[in-house]
Structure 1
Amino acid sequence: MSALRTWARDLALGARFAFGGGRRGWTRTLLTGVGVGLGVALLLIGTAVPGALTARHEREDARSLLGATTADVPGRDTLLAARVDQTYRRQEISGLMLRAEGPDAPVPPGLKSLPKPGEMAVSPALEKLLASPEGAELRERLGARITATVADRGLTGPAELRFYLGGDSLQKGGPGDHRVQRITAFAGDPEPRELDRVLMLLVVLAFVALLAPVAVFIAAAVRFGGERRDQRLAALRLVGADGRTVRRIAAGEALCGALVGLVLGAGFFLAGRGLVGSLSFRQRSVFPQDLAPSAWLLLLVALAVPAAAVAVTVPALRRVVIEPLGVARTVAPRRRRVWWRLLLPLAGLGLLVPLGRRSEGHRGFDRWQAGGGVLLLLVAVTVLLPWLLERVVGRLSGGPVSWQLAVRRLQVDSGGAARMVNGIAVAVAGVIALQMVFTGVEEDYERPTGQASGRAAVSVVMHLGTESRLEALAGKLAATPGVIRAVPLTDFQAARSTPADGETVRGTVGTCDALREVADIGACAEGDAFVLSGGGLSPTGEPLAPTPGERLYAGNITSYGAREMPAQKPVEWTVPAGARTVRPILDPAGNLREGVLVTPSAAPRDMGSWPSAQVYLQTGGPRPDTLDRIRTTVFRAEPLATAIPLGESAEDTSYATIRTGLFFGAAGLLVLIGTSLLVAQLEQLRERRRLLAVLVAFGTPRGTLGLSVLWQTALPIALGLALATGAGLSLGSALLWVADRPVHVDWVSVLSLAGAGAGVVALVTLLSLPPLLRLTRPDGLRTE
């Protein structure tokens, strides 16, 4: 018989045992399939995430104004567009105001036609919000009639809040008017998005740390039912099978379990993908159709999982003596050696440490080298834990009966306990490292703004060309419920000559009360002017701050403006002779101003649309509805004005996105950990059914058995979490070295993560008690 036919025969016999071995046979196969399937589902989700993010970015780029094709003059195919993003009850709402200048104006993706003035097209999520009682304030703010719904191809996700508003008041004032764009097509050729080395390091760490435990779980799942399998192989030895044959049969049985896991994993993935559309975190959501792994990744998973099943099962039989009359673990097994296990963490550190000496920027960062180093350090946990557990339990003796039962079980088979704990240990180590890195770089991406939110809670920035309506807007805002004080200020630029391509002078116009927000002016009356101290000298040695009585040019003073907008000529203006020099103070936005301060009657006249204006608002406390009312007032009065909340710190959007993705991954991993541990626990209890029933028959209290199960789980978990904490701290320190950040350990977070892992184990143990009580009934003594 040829070797190929021999392999086929033995593999087929293993498949028959997997599916035709009675209830115990298919139950064991089903448990293996469920364990492998959970891991496969998470692997498929992990491989689908990059494609989903790419699809989101492509749809976002397709509707973007950033890369849109623009035009200088109106035409048949031009469209005026301006962003009018809103925030409502801490929910971000993206929006565009549109006005067609010709019959062939472009239409945004997801719409069949442009909304007319007074009409609005909204996303399904926004339409649902507007129709609910919670959306009453937002309905009043937007005010337009809904005439269309944005299709999926025009949205980044099903939970996105987005609207397109038709507006007949849109005007393009000139090249300096950056809020309103005249476009002939959306999108265009957007610039590629690149992350800096720290953010790229976070992405690599997140993927490796979240997917490594999945591989560990799959490797553990294919070992379910090992003791029953070995007894069955001994029966085959009795009828004449040799050692190679039983290994091939075991490989066939493991392959069947892996194939069942692939099928179940695909089913879990499809079921989970169907639920994705209803999930949202911080308004990030994904369309189910976006979670589609590429064909080569699917092929890789389909080949890797069965190969891993065989690679794990066959070597495991080397430590088992399978004879015709029974199965025996080696009576005096070789003690596990530690020297080769230490090579893995050393190799991982050897890959990571040199990365810290590379140049700054993404070009000096090798993501594959970083991923390899992280993977080696995490895998080191899985190879060190069996050695550590063997050394510790080998020295334990005595104690209560429940403790002795647990210790003896661990001494007989410490490898099985280590396999069950390896997954959670790797997960905790990876999450601790992630927490250290996120904490270490947090200051770079969540930095203080210097804004004085106690003096003003909101800054409303006027749109270019609407400065003449500043006082009217300030009056409406002052009358808004919750607003205590409104401080309007207008800024303009001045220079000693025109066009001014060099140093300019900043001027601020406001009432005496408003000017006190930016300088210590003392006594003040209408018509006064002030020169701010500390302006310094220009490169030519000329004072930057003007002197009283000096003649300046204000308004359109730049060569750019002189070329593009010749109708708005600069105006001559003389600094009032009685201007006093005063000391500037930080304004509510955290800026220290320079130049001159003037009251309205002393300010330059007829500057056109070149000044800029804003209103600082002081509110009566941190009430979310006050901010919503302010935004409603602003949008109803000046749709293109922007209401900006003033805060103590600001967060980088890329950093926030990565942190959000990590939350999703950690949540999915936690579910996988708990489910896989529960499946493994139930499988071990099922294999020990007769032993447990015998112990109860001889008078062992069921409470003692329950405590023994708890100790049998708690001891490996305690050792695993201790090892995981050390590995996580080492990995986090190495990664902070790569990121060139000081090493700082947040012990509260570390202990919290370790406690979360222990909590998962406690929950799994609690859920396994009812099956334990059922398995210890007298009918468990029955055998064939």
Structure 2
Amino acid sequence: MNLGQWARDLGMGIRFAFAGGREGWVRAVLTAVGVGLGVALLLLSTALPNALSVRHEREQARMDYSFSAETRPKADDTMVIANVDTTFREKDVRGRLVEPEGPRAPLPPGLSAYPAKGEMVVSPELKRLLASDDARLLRERLPYRIVGTIGESGLVGSRELAYFAGATGLAAHVESGRTTRLDRFGEVNPTPEPPDPVLILLNIVVIVVLLMPVAVFVAAAVRFGGERRDRRLAALRLVGADGQMARRIAAGEAMAGALLGLVLGTGFFLIGRQIAGSVEVAGVSVWPSYLNPSPALAALVAVAVPAAAVGVTLLALRGVVIEPLGVVRTAKPSRRRLWWRLLLPVAGLGLLYPMIGQGRGDGDFNQYLVVSGVLLLLVGVTALLPWLVETVVARLGAGGVAWQLAVRRLQVSSGTAARMVNGIAVAVAGAIALQMLFAGVDDQYTQDTGLDLTRAQMQVNVPDGTPLTATARRFEDTKGVRKVTALGEGYLGSSSWRTEEGPNLSTELTVGDCAALRELAKLPSCADGAVFVLDGSEYSLDGPKLAKPGTRLYIESSSSGTSKEAVWTVPAGVVKAPALKDPTGNKRGGFLMTPGALPDHLRELVSGRLYLSIDESVPDAFEYTRNTTSAVDALASTAMWSATRTSERYDSIRTGLLVGAICVLLLIGASLLVSQLEQLRDRRKLLSALVAFGTRRRTLGLSVLWQTAIPIALGLLLAAVVGITLGTVLLKMTDTPVGVDWASVLAMTGMGGAVVLLVTALSLPPLVRLMRPDGLRTE
């Protein structure tokens, strides 16, 4: 092979692309736009690992929890920080109260100075939200004066809602669980979570499924305008070029479009990078600086895309004979062979088969076999679809004029129609497989909380010593609150909690009025001053043993650590009561006590829990409740109840899939529109001729719709078969019972069909403009 000749021919093709007149550069621009969209998404994909890494580093750098078993003493280089996170209309707000204890106290990342008491430093997004008309309830909850904004280093995303507010007296709450004394920020001695083979498998499959449609679209984009290009190559044969030289020149034209696509793709990526800083998808936002592609991966894209353009063009021309007087395509082209197309998915299944039944117990899945197997199955879609379209349209019979025009066009160029649909089919097949895998393993990462949402929908935790009766009354007066069950909680032990081994016997203490205690036990009778001991607890069995009159018990708060302790003597007349399930779904044990029976010296050791039933028909009922919580005590916290709890790692993968799927769908839509416009441009004279002979525009419009609908229906059918097959194999690999969520399968195929129909609708206005007799004019 003469490399010099190759270089000259490729260079000539590049010059023809830009200096060959209007046809050449229009085709180059169309190719570049299609390739550029794919390149932009590929660059985004290469930037994602860095973005995730930087987000993680930012999160770790601002970590403000102490993992030490001992509390740090106050010093001139310490500060106290309290977690006061909240939620506003389903958006999380990261809040921290801060109090420096000396001149060398560490500054939180993103802050240049500590805010004074009554002041706060906010994120740019929170500042915009607080300035809006809809944030009145949030402004009531954050009664601080804004004195600055948090820098980028203190935020994990551009749309994050966060604030630091100055406070005093936080040291008294250091052991409460939400308040910590620190001498530096950042996680110390983090304990890494053990790798989960199933989550690793999910990660791999998500990446492959999201990137495969991009590669398919890039390969399809370099073949835009193929028929017109082939006719131009005949002219080259007329002036002396041989067949191989003509093919190399064609490859050079495609490479020109690909190189221009790299430039446009880089521009699209830089524009999208800036836009990414102002959007939020599924609660995730990033700073533009996060999206820096890996140099090695970016270089791979820069080399692979032009190389793919040359390879795909040479492959496409292998069955085309270019003669000096025209392009000869066999009048009756040889039928596509099925056997080698079936080899691709069969080989993919063969690579995945050894890992069936492996689950979690037999170590990690072989990543190379997983990637190769999934790729071959998805590539099998692109190989099988042209054969399927050709086979089906060859058997389609008579119909209306629009139908006949569409069918004849598909019979003549079924490969072009299949290429247009390939990307959608691959994306839908991968989406169906992933949906099956997520649905199958969802139970493994989603736990039932056991919370009884019919009795309460929200929980409020208030600091030790907060008067429960008065607090409950404030919530009862809050708009949208139906019912309040207020309970004080602590722990009782047979001996001091301060000893190294702790008490031999221990049990719970719950304080509440008679109505609240009846939520926990079946009480024979109740009056203020009564004391009960529960019988029938699922966990604490020591209560009846400690209920003898005169027994001295040591009380420890449920949240204050071991620095505070008091003694309580069991009185006479303690009544046994059978336990019932409380709103959290558990049967409590130990002692129940009405407020009148609680000695004054024990009140500061009882932590308050309020279980609220909310009238959700009241607008912003939860926001009113959160405002009351903040007014009761800045360190009080609320928790929304839900029936299930999902693993954070699993949830993050699912969120990543959603973000990636949205990007891929946008690419699919944009690329399909460019492809459709390119095909219409190629057929401009044919459309004009049909109109000149009296064909109705409505008929031509319907024919274009049928030309799109038939291949997409076949593509989605094939995608469903391959997707269900791949999903079944993946479920068997994870040792999970196989089940097909038909609703999800229909939803995925429906979304793919909707994208194509939308693109077809958008292409109708250009079609109408092309259907004019003056389109026959030529020079």
Say whether the fold is shared (TM-score over 0.5).
yes
Percent identical residues: 52
Alignment partners' CA distance in 2, 1:191 and 1:493: 29
CA RMSD of aligned residues (A): 2.6
Aligned 8 A contact 2:460 2:639 in 1: yes
Deviates more, 1:309-318 or 1:232-241: 232-241
Alignment partners' CA distance in 1, 2:586 and 2:639: 15
SS of 1:342's equivalent?
helix
Residue 327 of structure 2 aligns with an amino acid whose one-letter code is V
1:44 matched to 2:43: yes
Alignment partners' CA distance in 1, 2:340 and 2:441: 34
Aligned 8 A contact 2:507 2:542 in 1: no
| Displacement of 1:497 | 4.0
SS of 2:111's equivalent?
coil
Alignment partners' CA distance in 1, 2:721 and 2:664: 20
1:6 matched to 2:5: yes
Residues 291-334 of structure 1 show CA distances to partners (whole Å, capped at 9, x for unaligned) of: 11111111010001001111101021111111222111134433
Alignment partners' CA distance in 2, 1:254 and 1:762: 29
Aligned 8 A contact 2:555 2:568 in 1: no
1:528 matched to 2:530: yes
| Displacement of 1:536 | 7.4
User: Which of these residues, 635, 638, 642, is aligned with residue 640 of structure 1?
Assistant: 635
Aligned 8 A contact 1:706 1:772 in 2: yes
Structure 1: give runs of 5+ residues left out of the alignment: none
Residues 718-776 of structure 1 show CA distances to partners (whole Å, capped at 9, x for unaligned) of: 10010011111112222222333322222222222212222222222222223233333
**In the alignment, what sits opposite 1:651?**
646
Residues 44-78 of structure 1 show CA distances to partners (whole Å, capped at 9, x for unaligned) of: 11221221121112112111113689862111101
SS of 1:555's equivalent?
strand
Aligned 8 A contact 1:172 1:182 in 2: no
Aligned 8 A contact 1:589 1:646 in 2: no
**In the alignment, what sits opposite 1:121?**
121
Aligned 8 A contact 1:119 1:147 in 2: yes
1:496 matched to 2:494: yes
Residues 544 and 379 from structure 1, CA distance in 2 versus in 1: closer, same or farther, beyond 3 angstroms?
A: farther
Residues 543 and 480 from structure 1, CA distance in 2 versus in 1: closer, same or farther, beyond 3 angstroms?
A: closer
TM-score (norm 2): 0.93
Residues 192-233 of structure 1 show CA distances to partners (whole Å, capped at 9, x for unaligned) of: 466633333332222211111110000001011111111122
Superposition pairs for residues 487-566 of structure 1, below 5 Å? 487-498=485-496, 499=499, 500=502, 502-535=504-537, 546-549=546-549, 551-556=551-556, 565=563
SS of 1:280's equivalent?
coil
Deviates more, 1:218-227 or 1:656-665: 656-665
Residues 563-612 of structure 1 show CA distances to partners (whole Å, capped at 9, x for unaligned) of: x64xx4552522x4433322211211222211222223434663486543
1:339 matched to 2:342: no
Residues 400-426 of structure 1 show CA distances to partners (whole Å, capped at 9, x for unaligned) of: 232222222222221111111101111
| Displacement of 1:260 | 0.8
Alignment partners' CA distance in 1, 2:170 and 2:697: 78
| Displacement of 1:479 | 2.6
Residues 362 and 224 from structure 1, CA distance in 2 versus in 1: closer, same or farther, beyond 3 angstroms?
A: farther
User: Which of these residues, 690, 698, 708, is aligned with residue 693 of structure 2?
Assistant: 698
Aligned 8 A contact 2:356 2:735 in 1: yes
| Displacement of 1:237 | 1.6
Aligned 8 A contact 2:534 2:543 in 1: no
Residues 478 and 11 from structure 1, CA distance in 2 versus in 1: closer, same or farther, beyond 3 angstroms?
A: same
Alignment partners' CA distance in 2, 1:71 and 1:749: 51
SS of 1:364's equivalent?
coil
Superposition pairs for residues 278-293 of structure 1, below 5 Å? 278-293=278-293
**In the alignment, what sits opposite 1:321?**
321
Aligned 8 A contact 1:531 1:581 in 2: yes
| Displacement of 1:646 | 2.5
| Displacement of 1:529 | 2.2
1:24 matched to 2:20: no
Superposition pairs for residues 556-705 of structure 1, below 5 Å? 556=556, 565=563, 568-574=564-570, 576-603=571-598, 606-607=601-602, 610-705=605-700
Alignment partners' CA distance in 1, 2:371 and 2:604: 54
**In the alignment, what sits opposite 1:481?**
479
Residue 665 of structure 2 aligns with an amino acid whose one-letter code is L
Deviates more, 1:215-224 or 1:342-351: 342-351
1:275 matched to 2:271: no
**In the alignment, what sits opposite 2:204?**
204
Deviates more, 1:362-371 or 1:10-19: 362-371
- The number of residues matched between the two structures is 772
Superposition pairs for residues 384-403 of structure 1, below 5 Å? 384-403=384-403
Residues 367 and 586 from structure 1, CA distance in 2 versus in 1: closer, same or farther, beyond 3 angstroms?
A: farther
Aligned 8 A contact 2:222 2:313 in 1: yes
1:772 matched to 2:774: no
SS of 2:459's equivalent?
strand
Residues 265 and 193 from structure 1, CA distance in 2 versus in 1: closer, same or farther, beyond 3 angstroms?
A: farther
| Displacement of 1:502 | 4.9
**In the alignment, what sits opposite 1:377?**
377
Alignment partners' CA distance in 2, 1:159 and 1:317: 50
Structure 2: give runs of 5+ residues left out of the alignment: none
SS of 2:620's equivalent?
helix
| Displacement of 1:676 | 1.2
Residues 92 and 569 from structure 1, CA distance in 2 versus in 1: closer, same or farther, beyond 3 angstroms?
A: closer
Aligned 8 A contact 2:430 2:723 in 1: yes
Aligned 8 A contact 2:43 2:298 in 1: yes
SS of 2:95's equivalent?
strand
Alignment partners' CA distance in 1, 2:475 and 2:104: 39
**In the alignment, what sits opposite 1:59?**
58
Aligned 8 A contact 2:51 2:290 in 1: yes
SS of 1:73's equivalent?
coil
Aligned 8 A contact 1:450 1:590 in 2: yes
Residue 49 of structure 1 aligns with an amino acid whose one-letter code is L
Deviates more, 1:522-531 or 1:386-395: 522-531
Aligned 8 A contact 2:385 2:715 in 1: yes
SS of 1:780's equivalent?
helix
Residues 390 and 315 from structure 1, CA distance in 2 versus in 1: closer, same or farther, beyond 3 angstroms?
A: same
Alignment partners' CA distance in 2, 1:678 and 1:455: 53
Aligned 8 A contact 1:79 1:182 in 2: yes
Aligned 8 A contact 2:43 2:293 in 1: yes
Deviates more, 1:83-92 or 1:648-657: 648-657
**In the alignment, what sits opposite 1:715?**
710
| Displacement of 1:91 | 1.6
TM-score (norm 1): 0.93
Alignment partners' CA distance in 2, 1:231 and 1:124: 58
| Displacement of 1:624 | 4.9
1:750 matched to 2:745: yes
SS of 1:341's equivalent?
helix
Residue 769 of structure 1 aligns with an amino acid whose one-letter code is L
Alignment partners' CA distance in 1, 2:292 and 2:164: 29
Aligned 8 A contact 2:554 2:565 in 1: no
SS of 1:467's equivalent?
coil
Aligned 8 A contact 2:342 2:380 in 1: yes
Residues 202 and 358 from structure 1, CA distance in 2 versus in 1: closer, same or farther, beyond 3 angstroms?
A: same
Alignment partners' CA distance in 2, 1:57 and 1:688: 52
| Displacement of 1:480 | 2.2
Alignment partners' CA distance in 1, 2:763 and 2:331: 31
**In the alignment, what sits opposite 1:364?**
364
| Displacement of 1:533 | 1.9
| Displacement of 1:284 | 1.8
Aligned 8 A contact 2:282 2:658 in 1: no
| Displacement of 1:8 | 2.3
